[in-house]
Structure 1
Amino acid sequence: MKDGKKENAVNYFNVTVWDNLAEIMSKYLKKEHE
């Protein structure tokens, strides 16, 4: 039996991390341009 919950958790974690990374990067880039 496949562990669907585990896969969903990993996908959710990856999406959350990338969202946060993108936010941090955009903030950092804005600071660089000021």
Structure 2
Amino acid sequence: LNFEVEVVDVREGTPQEIEHGHVHAGGEDH
């Protein structure tokens, strides 16, 4: 598989995301 993507926005991670090492999408923590 090949994908062509364009990054359109980057945000800082929340302290909890940084601590856990991954993103928490939609306000959920897991």
If asked which structure has higher relative contact order (CA below 8 Å, sep 6+), I would say 2
Q: TM class by shorter-chain length?
A: under 0.3
Bigger proportion of residues as helix? 1
TM-score w.r.t. length of structure 1: 0.23
Structure number with bigger Rg? 1
